Amino acid sequence: MRPLKVIVDQASLRHNLAIVKQLAPKSKIMSVVKANGYGHGLINVAQGLSESDGFAVLALNEAIDLREHGFEQDILLLEGAFESYEISIAAKMRFNLVVHNLHQLQMIEKLKLNHPIDIHFKINTGMNRLGFNPNEAKEILKTLQNKTHFKSITLMTHFATADEPKGVDWQLTVFNDIAKHFNFSHSVANSASIVNFKKTHLDWVRPGIMLYGASPIMGQKSSLLNIKPVMQLKSKIIAIQNLSKNDSVGYGETFKAKNDMRIAVVACGYADGYPRHAPTGTPVYVEGEKTLTVGRVSMDMLYIDVTNIPQASISSDVELWGEHIPVDEVAEKAGTVGYELLCAISASKRVPIEIIHG
């Protein structure tokens, strides 16, 4: 069996959830577990985050999966319903729906629901992805206040620059100018704003990436936030090659040895979710030592420098990210973000997941 695997530590999930509770003690926590729990496995993650007040997912099947595994918390569909039948299922199974356009509202109003539904009314405060235009939102909300098919209404928005110097005030002002006219619950804080802006800790907070141990703030190490990595991507050395000066390794001769070198071949490549564009010099951990990749990442393999790690041999364990190598460091080298790397593991469907229930 190929030695590549993902290890998911549920104790770290619980630890990171506790950090969110410390940061936002008066808010309910809607833990974001979309994209198969950011690549960690939906149910694995939900079990580790079972003390959450709610879960946010993208697809109806994810919400159903959570219910069928016994999770009774609020479950929010972040893009709402795409078809009318989904609304009927959501009402019956007590899912909350994001509503971000008139088409979705009209679908709900045309149905004769046996169960009133909870909605999260999304306001576009400047990110310009999803949400009602703020110039129209107030009047639309007035028409919804007395509708019997809505059990509750929560106002929400999403911040575009909570992790950047521009901050959140430019969007929060727009949101508050609408929200102050209604006695509805509020949900605005993502991971970055949970960390950076206490004023965003309203009725609900929606932590995502920080629950998985990656930093929500570019350039800030996750260790400074006291959050722990949940995923460890591990493989093994499957071959050793000795290079002479000017020898190359991998496709395209993108790396040539400046001196004699000892190179290890590791069973992991871009088809497994490792970033193809991770350049020479991306950190890895082997036999208690930090070292670097060399050459171009292949579909199924990558290459690391073990010249100064004589104990490294065939079958030596290699950590590609996790406890010793933060996923954010790998992402930064590859010109991307930790979110993408974690989710890419799930998308590959080639890497088995091992759970530590601790």
* pLDDT attached to residue 259: 97
How long is the chain? 358
Contact 52/84 with Cβ under 8 angstroms? no
* pLDDT attached to residue 148: 86
* pLDDT attached to residue 95: 98
Tokens (6 digits) for 235? 């493989």
| Model pTM score | 0.95
Marked catalytic residue, from 34, 234, 236, 333: 34
* pLDDT attached to residue 347: 77
Instruction: State pLDDT tens for residues 44-91.
Output: 999 999 999 999 999 999 999 999 999 999 999 999 999 999 999 999
Give the DSSP per-residue string, 271-316.
Answer: GGT--TTPPTT-EEEETTEEEEEES---SS-EEEE-TT-TT--TT-
Name residues whose C-beta falls within 8 Å of residue 184's C-beta, 6 or more positions apart in sequence. 121, 141, 152, 153, 154, 155
Looking at this protein, which amino acid is placed at residue 291? Answer: T
Instruction: State pLDDT tens for residues 183-199.
Output: 999 999 999 999 999 99
Based on the residue annotation, tell me whether 251 is a catalytic residue of this protein: yes
The fold for domain 231-356 equals Lyase, Ornithine Decarboxylase; Chain A, domain 1 (2.40.37)
For the beta carbon of residue 1, count every other beta carbon within 10 angstroms.
Answer: 5
Marked catalytic residue, from 251, 256, 290, 349: 251
Contact 328/215 with Cβ under 8 angstroms? yes
Based on the residue annotation, tell me whether 5 is a catalytic residue of this protein: no
List the chain residues with pLDDT less than 50: none
* pLDDT attached to residue 145: 87
CATH, domain range 10-215: 3.20.20.10
Query: Residue 40 gets which letter from DSSP?
Result: T
Is residue 343 classed as helix, strand or coil in its secondary structure?
helix
Provide the residue ranges of all domains of the chain, joining segments of one domain with +: 10-215, 231-356
Give backbone dihedrals phi and psi of 32, rounded to 5 degrees, phi first: -85, 120
